[in-house]
Amino acid sequence: MAACFLFPLLVFGQIRRHEFVLIDDNVHLQENRYLQPPTWKNTKGFWRAPFLGLYIPVTYSLWSAEAKLAYSAQGKGLDPGVFHEVSIALHAANTVLCFLLFLSLMEPFAALLAALFFSLHPVQAEAVAWASAQKDLLCGFFSLLALWQYTRFCQDRRRVRYAVATVSFLLALLSKPASVGLAAVAWAIEVGVIGRKPKDSFKWLWPWLFLAIPILGITKVLQPDQHIGPVLPWWQRPLIAFDTLAFYIAKTIVPIRLAPDYSRAPDVLIHHWMAYFSWLIPLIFGFLFARKVRGWHFIAIIFIAGILPVLGLVPFYFQVFSTVADRYLYLSLLSPALVFGRLLPPRFWGRLAGCAVLVVFSLLSFEQAGKWRDSLTLFEHTLKVNPGSLLAHNNLGAILEEKGRYDEAYKHYASSVKLAPDSVPPLYNIARLQAMKGNFKLAKPLFYEVLRMQPDVAEAHQSLGAIFAKEKNWNEAEKHLMIALQIRPESEKIRDLLKSVQDNRANLKKN
């Protein structure tokens, strides 16, 4: 068991020195006013209402505790090292839980290799190295605890184990709603691996389904289709789901060229010929798999259930960029890990081959975790893997702009606009960059185009107000700042700028 804890620490320990990155870390952690500083009142607020379109109060409670420690450690701002250390510890704990789960299903050494397969697979690097993906690790912790206790309950029928499993499942749902498919995973293990009758399993798992239904409803209300972007008609979504499944199978078998954004958005993918033939990959793989693995359909259920909410059958927010992401595979890797442990020959050469695979995984994971060192390193790597990444171009532009490398930043913003002409953020960034350089004649038409595309962008109105103020066109400046303040009434910066404009106009009338 010590090996389950030690190896993840060795492979992912470097993450302790990493920075936050410019994907959600700034929103969820660095600039989250409820963590600046964290208080009991703010923490209770995460339980009373959703935050940023998510109801994950268990995750935000953990982040509040970490923020408290991070402030104590650094004194000013949040120390990312605290969050990364907790992520490493969570992943190591999940490896131990994985071992305990497999130990009840196979012999000890095979269980150890299977647990390390789950832990050291390079696809896991994203969930461990990205602070905001800690919700995946926390959800994984409670999910694995639920599965372990439920599996033990199936074997000894101790009701206390079922109670622990059910409470753990509820905590997993409140950590991240993606765990809604856990009942299917538990059913597949109980029926397909342990060998119990299906009807006996339903007797104990139907309460889990009732726990999942309200979480699904809350998620759907908080992320309605109109806030997600282009939504495909229902008959095209299975094509996206099969493509997603094919992609994940490929990355599980050959985990190279990994990145946070693969630009596989549904509205783009559906116009590519691949979307209409990718269903053949899961079909062929399933046919070959069926000849080698007994109970292969239960193994498939475990894999699919872990990613069911993000297969593409139901729209979700990240599909603006891509349907697929490495972190979504976190729990689903139980399936190939189970196959890995059960198929390895128990003799010396079989075990040696298994250890060799884990060594390769460790080296690849160590390298991939290093790509998350900071935002600049991450997005430069992303563009090497996926030159068409809108996410990488836009964020890399912001990073280079902050470093004063304006010409390089402009190139990345322009690439973003070329990739997504209807996307507001990159066009706004180009307009803002022109305004910073004093090119007001170029900046103003771009800001107006932003407002034509999306009239409620307060920052565009604020920027126009600032430009007109510098040009001493006080009436136009006041008009745009008034609109900006109506959209963002909490902004002291807009309020101060508006007051300055009104004072200048009043002084002009006096003179």
pLDDT tens digits along 287-333: 777 666 667 889 999 999 999 999 999 888 888 889 999 999 999 99
Report pLDDT for 166. 97
Residue 81 has pLDDT above 60, yes or no: yes
Instruction: Show contacts of 408-413: CB within 8 Å, 24+ apart.
Output: 409/433
pLDDT tens digits along 457-486: 999 999 999 999 999 999 999 999 999 999
Amino acid at 78: L
pTM recorded for the entire structure: 0.89
φ, ψ for residue 305 (rounded to 5)?
-60, -35
The whole-angstrom separation of Cα 223 and Cα 317 is: 7
Q: What angle do CA 303, 171, 60 make, to 5 degrees?
A: 105
Report pLDDT for 497. 93
Q: How confident is the model at residue 138 (pLDDT cuts 50, 70, 90)?
A: very high
CA distances from 51 to 34, 46, 57, 492 (A): 10, 7, 9, 22
pLDDT tens digits along 350-385: 889 999 999 999 999 999 999 999 999 999 999 999
Better-scored residue on pLDDT, 257 or 403: 257
Provide CB contacts within 8 A for 412, sequence distance 6+: 393, 394, 396, 397, 400
Residue 247 tokens, joined: 């992609």
- For range 152-168, the mean pLDDT: 94
Contact 12, 84 (CB under 8 A): no
Report pLDDT for 226. 47
Provide CB contacts within 8 A for 285, sequence distance 6+: 249
Which of 93-119 are b and which e, b meaning 16 or more Cβ less than 10 Å from the residue's Cβ? bbbbbbbbbbbbbbeeebbbbbbbbbb
Which of 202-228 are b and which e, b meaning 16 or more Cβ less than 10 Å from the residue's Cβ? eebbeebeebbeebeeebeebbeeeee
pLDDT tens digits along 324-351: 999 999 999 999 999 999 888 878 888 8
Q: How confident is the model at residue 252 (pLDDT cuts 50, 70, 90)?
A: very high
Report pLDDT for 450. 94
The whole-angstrom separation of Cα 303 and Cα 310 is: 12
**Burial of 41: CB neighbours in 10 Å, binned 0-12, 13-18, 19+:** exposed
Report pLDDT for 72. 61
Report pLDDT for 227. 53
Name the β-bridge partners of 38.
35
pLDDT tens digits along 187-241: 999 998 888 888 778 889 999 988 888 877 776 666 555 456 678 899 999 999 9
What domains sit in the chain, N to C, each tagged with a CATH number? Answer: 2-375 (no CATH), 377-510 (1.25.40.10)
Q: What percent of the chain has pLDDT over 70?
A: 95
Pick the closest to residue 129 from 363, 328, 369, 364 (CA basis): 369
Average the pLDDT over each of 92-106, 204-218, 244-258, 304-318 and give the range with the smallest value.
204-218
Report pLDDT for 367. 97
Pick the closest to residue 67 from 50, 42, 92 (CA basis): 42
Report pLDDT for 224. 55
- Most confident among 150-164, 292-306, 494-508 (mean pLDDT): 150-164
Name the β-bridge partners of 54.
51
Report pLDDT for 205. 92
Residue 87 has pLDDT above 50, yes or no: yes
**Burial of 376: CB neighbours in 10 Å, binned 0-12, 13-18, 19+:** middle
SS3 letters for 438-496? CCHHHHHHHHHHHHHHCCCCHHHHHHHHHHHHHCCCHHHHHHHHHHHHHHCCCCHHHHH
Mean pLDDT, the chain, whole residue set = 90
Contact 360, 120 (CB under 8 A): no
pLDDT tens digits along 41-71: 999 999 988 887 788 999 999 999 999 988 7
Orientation of helix 424-436 relative to helix 406-419, angle to 10°: 150
For the chain, the residue count is: 511
Q: What angle do CA 23, 317, 336 make, to 5 degrees?
A: 80
Provide CB contacts within 8 A for 51, sequence distance 6+: 34, 45, 60
